[in-house]
Structure formats: C-alpha cells, structure tokens
Amino acid sequence: MAEQSIAGAPGRAMAADGDRSARARFVIVLLCVALAFSVFLSLTAGASDASAVRVVRDWFTGAMPADAALAARDQLIVYDIRIPRVLLGVLIGAALAVCGAVMQGLFRNPLADPGLIGVSAGSSLGAVAIIVLGTTWLAPVTLALGTLALPLAAFFGGLSVTLLLYAIATRQGRTSVATMLLAGIAISALAMALTGVLIFMADDRQLRDLTFWQLGSLAGATWPKIGTVGPVIVLALSAMPFLSRGLNALALGEATAGHLGIPVQRLKYTAIVGVSAAVGASVAVSGGIGFIGIVVPHVLRLAIGPDNRYLLPASALLGASLLLLADSVARTIVAPAELPIGIVTAVAGAPFFLWILLRKRGVIDL
Amino acid sequence: MIEARDISVAIGGKRIVSHVDFAARPGEVSAVVGPNGSGKTTLLKALTGELAYTGAVTLNGRDLSAMKPVEAATLRAVLPQSTALSFPFTVREIVRLGLIGGRSGVLPGEDARLPERALARVDLDGFAGRFYQELSGGEQQRVQLARVLCQVWAPVLEGRPRYLFLDEPVSSLDVKHQLIIMNIARDFARRGGGVMAILHDLNLTAMYADRIFVLRNGELAAAGPPADVLNDELIERVFDCRLKVGALPSGNMPFVLPQSAA
C-alpha cells in the first residue's frame, strides 16, 4: 500500500508504473550513439597507420594530399579493407543478436540460440565440406561457384537443417517447439560428427583454415561477400520487427497467444525461416561466433525488459557494437597477426555472462 | 451465442469428450461442472479452437473453424487455469498484452489507461509495477483475468455480444476474491456478454450460474438452471458422493456459504 501512495503522489511526472517503454527508448538512443562510436573506432584502429579521418576529410574537401602514394594506400586500406569489414561486423553482430532474441522468444527459453537447434552446426558442416572436399569430390561445385562456394554451402547447410527440423516437428500443421528443440540437439550432434569425419580427412593446410573458420573471424570481409550475404541478412532482419508483438504474446504460451489473435503457426514459420537465413548467411562468411546471440538479448532484458518491440532493435544495435569492438580487439591485440574473433567474444562474453547470472541470481528464472 | 453441437475430442486415441451439446447465451453465466477428468477443460479447449474436435462450434452464428485467430480474438477471451511465464514481464506489461488485438471496445485514447482500470477491477490496484513472477498464485491468476478483461472490455462490440471463457477462475483465490471475480463474470453477462466458466464449488455455481452443464466421463450428464440440475440424485450419480442438497449441518457445526455475502 505504501508503494501505491508513492506512485500516486502529485508532481511525479513519471511513466505509468511497470511501463518500461520510456526507458527502453532512451536505451535505444544510447545504443545508437554507442554504435556510431564503435564504427568510428573500427574505421580508425588497425594494424596499419592508415588514417581513416584523413581519407574522409580529403574525400569531402577534395584536397590533393601531399604524398599521393601514401594517400592511395590509405584509401585502399580504408575503402577495400576497413569499410567492408565494419559493414560486415555490423550486419553479423546485428543478425546474431536479433536471431538469438527471436529464438529465445520462440522457444520461450532464455537459453535458446541458433547454435542450439543445429542451424549453426548445419552451416558449419556445409562450409567444412567445401574446405576439405573442395579440391576433390566437390571440385565441380567450387569450380562453378568460385569464392562463393563456401558461403553458399554454409547457407544451404543451415537452411537444410532448419527445414529438416521443421518437417520432423510439424504434425497436422502444428509445429511442436519442444520436439524441434530436442531434434535440433540430435541433428546438431550428427552434423558435428560428420564435420569431425571431414576434419579427420583434412590435411595440415586445410586444418589451419578450418580452425580459423570455426573460431570465427571477420577477416574475409570483401565487397563481393557483402553483396552476397548483406541482402539476405538485411531482408531477414527487416522482417523481425513484425514478429515482435507475436513473440511478446508467445511468452504466455502458444495457446494463449492464439487466443489473443496471433497467427501462431505463421509466426513460427516466419521466425524460423528468417533466423536460418540470417544465421546461415552469417556463419557462411564469418564462421561460428559465439555468445553474442545469448549475452546481448539477456543483458538487454535486464536493462529494458523483455518487450520484443524494443528488445529486437536494441539487440541489433548492441550486437553490432559489441562485435565491432571485439573485432577491433582481435585485429590489434596481436598485430600484425590477428586473433579469431570467436576467441575474443568467448573470453569476454563467458565471464561477463557468469557475473550477470551471479549478480542477478533469483531474478532470472529459467 | 456460443453453440456447440455433437462435440467429440480425442487425445492420443482416447476419447475425452463425446457427443456434447453446449450453448452459452449472451446475458448468461454458463457454468460447467463435473469431477476431475470429466472433460471440462478439454471441452473448453475445443470451444476455443485450441484442440481439434469433431462436430460444429459457432460463435454468434459463425463457424469457429473458419475464423482467423484475430477474428476469434475480437469475439472472445480465454483465461487458462494457470500461466507460466518465460521472461520477467511486469504486471502492467502482461495486462497490456490483452490489448494486442486492439479491440478492447473503449475509445482509442483510453486504451493506455485500461490496464490500470482492469487491475483495479480484480483488486490489484498498485500492482502494475511488480514482476509477475514474484506474485502469489492467486495474484497471478487475477493478473491474467485483468489481461483477459482488457481484450474484451466492452461485453458488446458493434452490436455483437462477446464472450469470456474462464477455466477455474477462482481455483486458487481466497473467498473475498472468489466473490469479486464471480461478480465480474456476472456483471459481464448482465451487460450483454456471455460467460462460460468451469467451476468446482457447487455453492458458487448455484449462486452465479444461470445455466449449469454437468459433465461425467466426457458426456453431458445434465444441463439446465441450477434449481433444476442440482439434486441429490445427480450429485451422487456424477460425483459418486452421497450428499444432500440444501441440508444444514447437524448441531452447531459452523458453515459459511458465499450466498451469505452482504
């Protein structure tokens, strides 16, 4: 009763009790600023001393640089290496975080992740098959597709696992989310076993490629790759906001969401196809980057609540920022060499996640 | 009117509800009673389209199976027995979910204040900022009722009656809140809506129901106004319990009936 009188006290121009939307909008604005900062940092930091600021300034003012050769080199580094890499980082960070949030809403479980239901494992199998068998059994494929063979194989690997799962879990037009989760674990194990066979067959050079790819990296960022996966990710992510109200209702259970007027089957179908497309495309170019999909939505739920209308855009922004920061660390900490980004996200993400769990014990109810 | 003809439901090869006729009229509270496992909740799930059934269900004359979820949602709201939540929503955020369909029936500008009004109706004033998962079972049940009320706040929309499906709405409530909730149901009916409620307390049922449907082993054992249905013979046949309707306890054994509420 004391709370009630405080809430009703005059002169308290606050949002209604229990309404976190104002705070959520504020956090989203903050995250926009953070992303701008991360983009700036990623463009300026790197193994080379190329100055992104100078390149942009020259480009704007049209000034002729004093040292033409140096300017040309800087321009090359900024335009052809750093900008595509930043774009790719934004796309993939946003995709991983949003897909994590959507999966968690869909499976009604804060631990769900595209990695959990086998989408990532399927993508990995596709990619590893190209790396190991690309010169022998799958030579016609790699010849026909060139550098696109690996991303496409990863994409179709992820998609076929998802479609298989969907077929297994759907009976009479209803998809059982629990069956899908369990079948996903089984298919994941199978895909990882097949990947293991391929790794066993690989030679030394292939092994090194494999390791690097499995740990995840944005090092392969080029304009053609962005042209391939960018539209897929952008299309998939732009469908997600339309799912947010349905995902909110799904927190009450599938039946109740249906009673509230949500077309639950269509919601599940759209979410699954969207997630497998975005995750398949991400894994295809950058390998397996862990923790973004679990940590980002989780932290944001603590900050702004689980309302997907705010959680999804906020996840995209924070996911993009964090991946750019992790990539900046990966590129500079052992320069001129670079660390796989998956190591950075895991080393930073895992302890942080544990700390959150310990600090908020009791609030998070699995 | 909600009308169900010859409804049968089988789950996993076992028939749970067989050949039940049911009707809930606008302006009335229709109660469904019966022993555990007699098919009450299964019947409710068939009537709300949650379970596949054979037979026909119509809502205001329209076939339920031909309705889109959003169309059905404007005509009826459903309160399940209990609702577990997967994420830490506040009470206000839960109640707001009732407004997803956007057909509460209040003026557009008033929607924003509806959660508070609904919470006040279920005697949860000041609970809007609390976390749902931290509430007691009875409080959670009332939060869900507030959400359901938001969905069909106006019992009649555009001249068409709307319906509440309540699955044991008072099962975990204290006696004061049992009366509050049953009064909400009766008020909804008095203002032109229809209510289907699964109840266990026969005294509450007799007090609030305009019509009782008695289920036994998935079949309709009796239907009609309380005075016609509730008799010694039926109670023994359906509940397998020799009880006397209207008999006072012997001696000075105290008893408390909801009917005595001032």
pLDDT of residue A100: 92
Question: Average of pLDDT values for B128-147?
Answer: 94
Share of chain B above pLDDT 90, in %: 79
Residue B251, in any domain of the structure = no
Residue B52, in any domain of the structure = yes
Q: How far apart are CA B26 and CA B217, in angstroms?
A: 28
B70 vs A263: CB contact, 8 Å cut-off? Answer: yes
Q: What domains can you pick out in chain A, each with its CATH number?
A: 88-359 (1.10.3470.10)
> CATH no. for residue B233?
3.40.50.300
Q: Which residue has the higher pLDDT, B239 or A152?
A: B239
pLDDT of residue A169: 80
A18 vs B128: CB contact, 8 Å cut-off? Answer: yes
Which pLDDT band holds residue B225 (cuts at 50, 70, 90)? very high
Global confidence as pTM: 0.87
**Across A12-16, B35-39, B193-197, B256-260, least confident range:** A12-16
Give the tokens for residue B58: 């119509």
Burial A214-230 (b: 16+ CB within 10 A, else e): bbbbbbbbeeebbebbb
Å between B162 CA and nearest CA of chain A: 13
Beta strands in A245-335 (DSSP E): none
Residue that the structure tokens 């990995």 belong to:
A124
Å between A283 CA and nearest CA of chain B: 28
Question: Average of pLDDT values for B134-152?
Answer: 95
Q: Which of B87, B129, B130 lies closest to A251 in CB terms? A: B87
Residue B254, in any domain of the structure = no
Contacts B77 to A, Cβ<8 Å: 259
- In A, minimum Cα distance to B125 occurs at A4
Cis omega before residue B69 (within 30°)?
no
Q: DSSP labels for B153-206?
A: -SSEETTEE-EEEEESTTTT--HHHHHHHHHHHHHHHHTT-EEEEE---HHHHH
- In A, minimum Cα distance to B70 occurs at A261
A364 vs B128: CB contact, 8 Å cut-off? Answer: no
Residue B45, in any domain of the structure = yes
Which pLDDT band holds residue B109 (cuts at 50, 70, 90)? confident
Antiparallel, parallel or unpaired: β B211-216 and B29-33: parallel
- In B, minimum Cα distance to A252 occurs at B85
Residue B261, in any domain of the structure = no
Contacts of B122 (CB under 8 A, 6+ apart): B142, B143, B145, B146, B149, B177, B180, B181, B184
Residue B98, in any domain of the structure = yes
CA atoms within a 13 Å half-sphere pointing along the CA-CB vector of B71: 11
The answer to whether B7 touches B55, Cβ cutoff 8 Å, is yes
Å between B154 CA and nearest CA of chain A: 16
Question: Average of pLDDT values for B231-247?
Answer: 92
Residue B253, in any domain of the structure = no
Crossing angle, helix B114-121 and helix B137-151, to 10 degrees?
A: 130
Question: Average of pLDDT values for B24-50?
Answer: 95
Q: Dihedral sign, CA of B120, B124, B130, B134?
A: negative
Share of chain B above pLDDT 70, in %: 100
pLDDT of residue A119: 82
Structural domain span for residue B51: 2-243
Å between B132 CA and nearest CA of chain A: 10
Q: Which of A17, A105, A306 lies closest to B88 in CB terms? A: A306
Give the number of domains in chain B.
Answer: 1
Residue B258, in any domain of the structure = no
Question: Average of pLDDT values for B131-149?
Answer: 94
Residues in B whose CB is inside 8 Å of some CB of A read 45, 48-50, 52, 68-74, 76-78, 80, 83-94, 97-98, 100-101, 112, 115-116, 125-126, 128-130, 133, 151
How many interface pairs between A and B have CB atoms less than 8 angstroms apart?
106
CA-based R_g, chain A, Å: 22
Q: What is the mean pLDDT of each run of 10 residues along chain A (366 residues)?
A: 36 61 94 95 76 69 68 79 91 94 86 76 87 81 75 81 81 72 88 90 83 77 85 92 94 92 90 85 82 90 93 97 92 82 86 76 49
Confidence check: pLDDT of B209 > 60: yes
